[in-house]
Amino acid sequence: MLEAYPLYWPEGWKRTDKWSVENSKFKNGFARSRDELLDEIERLRGRCHNQGDAILSTDISLRQDGLPYANQREPEDSGVAVYFKYKGNDMCFACDKYRKVWENFVAIRKTIEAIRGIERWGASDMMERAFRGFIAIEDGRNDWRSILNLAPDATLAEAEHSYKRLRSQYHPDKPGGDTNMFIQINTAIEQARINLQH
């Protein structure tokens, strides 16, 4: 069940290996980073938290208004997932690359800001296609096996082979390429790597 606390990491999304987590070069603080992330979602025209649609999920306990406290000790898991609606779709961004929760807030905000920049620069149809890759996967939608054209008993080697072929076919820089399909293929191989590792 989707919750703000404890952290609800999106299903099928790969976690950063704990030995690869790093310190960022961001200069900010917890409360400011949290609020700037929610403001960025609002600017995107997603519904903001006070309208009840954005869920900022972390391992930091919540204030009465449902937002994580700014003055708590850093949890063991610094991952952050934010869920919100954008044009009627359930969206999800998640980051656990950095050692501190607020650093992961900043990373997600900067990602959304960069994607939003596409719209400001006049290529909004590209923004729509890019955003489809961040739609929260529910009830087996965008099943990774079907995206990679895999049989139920396929191996990881078969998944990798299919991925390379499809990646080449749908690459956005090639004639006939498809950004949306390219994003789905990359997401699918990540899920295949998680599910087919033995």
* Mean pLDDT of successive 10-residue stretches along the chain, which has 198 residues: 84 83 91 93 63 81 89 94 81 91 95 78 61 51 76 88 90 81 83 76
Give the pLDDT confidence score for residue 141 in this predicted structure: 41
Taking the CA atoms of residue 62, residue 31, residue 135 and residue 186 in that order, the dihedral angle to the nearest 10 degrees is: -120
Q: What angle do CA 80, 186, 18 make, to 5 degrees?
A: 40
Give the pLDDT confidence score for residue 79 in this predicted structure: 96
Give the pLDDT confidence score for residue 50 in this predicted structure: 44
pTM for the predicted model, two decimal places: 0.65
- CATH classification code of 144-196: 1.10.287
Give the pLDDT confidence score for residue 49 in this predicted structure: 42
- The domain spans of the chain are 30-134, 144-196
Helix 179-196, helix 156-170: angle, nearest 10: 170
